Amino acid sequence: MGRVQGKVAIVTGAAKGIGAASAKALAREGAKVICSDMDEEGGEAMAAEIQRTGGEAIFVAHDVTDEAQWANVVKVAEDRFGGLNIVVNNAGIAPTGGPIEDLELNDWRKLIAVDLDSVFLGCKYGIKTIKKSTEKGQKGSIINISSINGQKGQMGQTNYSAAKAGVIGFTKALAQEVAKKGVTVNVIAPGYIDTEMVAAVPPKVLESIIATIPVGRLGKAEEIAHCVTFLADEKSAFITGATFTANGAQYIAG
């Protein structure tokens, strides 16, 4: 049996990158997965790929900044699969930035909405349903995806660094709030991962980034997905409020 056999999971931003890898990993470990994304073509393809390999998955078109759509995707989990056990808040947009005096308020608000408000909404609506499962003795899991830049900050990315640091603080607070309700809340802070977002970085800049990573390479989305399945496992019930740093020793948080 898989680590999350028979459980129901929502993974946001599941069309590609870390979200896609996490959706596939959870399905391989026995979960029924709702692939959530605004990219309908990519999301449908991901759900179909999971189904072809013997897993259970469906796609739901979902704007993670919209409260009503969060209520809907959780209802889909209940109606289609009978409940909800796991939420992976992964959806995010690429850093936009530059000097703060050049950063427009709308750009600030858009990134905060996608990268931080979405985590609040996912937890608000997800936990209400997850608690129904914990009352039956099953562990509930919230896994929020932050970033190395939420831990150390990144020059020229004040909005992105603020949002991702906010995810970490939010996770610590919520973990304490729901600890006695059978729900663990943890955060993964990836370093530079070989995804489309990182691939968009100019080659010379990317070379300079890799030079600062002690293991000498970019991370793989599958390596972050492994952290997701570990944290969702029933055997990880004593781990909550934790920040999993997965960055090849580029930044070591004590």
DSSP string, 98-134: S-GGG--HHHHHHHHIIIIIHHHHHHHHHHHHHHHHH
Structure tokens at 11: 């993974």
Q: Residue 170 above 80 pLDDT? A: yes
Which residue range forms the structural domain that includes residue 136? 8-193+222-243
Distance, in Å, from the CA atom of 148 to the CA atom of 207, rounded to the nearest integer, reads 18
Domain membership of residue 172 (yes or no) is yes
Q: Which two tokens stand for residue 122?
A: 């996912």
Inside any domain, residue 2: no
Dig out the tokens for 55 from the structure: 């897993």
Q: What is the pLDDT of residue 86?
A: 98
What is the structure's pLDDT at 94? 80
Radius of gyration of the chain (CA): 17
Cβ atoms of residues 93 and 157 within 8 Å: no
Burial of 87 (0-12, 13-18, 19+ CB in 10 A): buried
Q: How many of the other CB atoms lie within 10 Å of CB of 96?
A: 15
More confident call, 133 vs 84: 84
**Residue-level pLDDT at 197:** 80
| Band (172; pLDDT cuts 50, 70, 90) | very high
Q: Is residue 121 part of a domain?
A: yes
Question: 190-215, pLDDT tens digit by residue?
Answer: 999 999 888 788 889 899 999 999 99
Does the active-site annotation cover 125? Answer: no
Percent of the chain having pLDDT more than 70? 99
**Residue-wise pLDDT tens digits, 8-26:** 999 999 999 999 999 999 9
Inside any domain, residue 147: yes
Q: Is residue 206 part of a domain?
A: no
**Residue 68 domain-assigned (yes or no):** yes
pLDDT in tens, 87-138: 999 999 987 768 899 999 999 999 999 999 999 999 999 999 999 988 888 8
Q: Look over the chain and give the mean of its residue pLDDT values, rounded to a whole number.
A: 95
CA distances (Å), 204 to each of 80, 129, 200, 208, 214, in order?
Answer: 47, 47, 11, 6, 18
State how far the Cα of 161 lies from the Cα of 153, in Å rounded to an integer: 5
Residues 6+ apart with CB under 8 A from 59: 14, 34, 35, 36, 37, 40, 43, 44, 46, 47
User: DSSP letter at 37?
Assistant: E
Q: Are 97 and 25 in contact (CB under 8 A)?
A: no
Domain-embedded: residue 199:
no
CATH code of the domain covering residue 155 = 3.40.50.720
Helix axes 17-28, 221-232, angle to 10 degrees: 50
Question: Is residue 62, in this structure, part of any structural domain at all?
Answer: yes
As for how many domains the chain has, the answer is: 1
Choose, from 125, 160, 192, 251, the residue flagged as catalytic: 160
Residue found by looking up tokens 């973990």 in the block: 175
Check if the beta carbon of residue 145 is closer than 8 Å to that of residue 123.
no
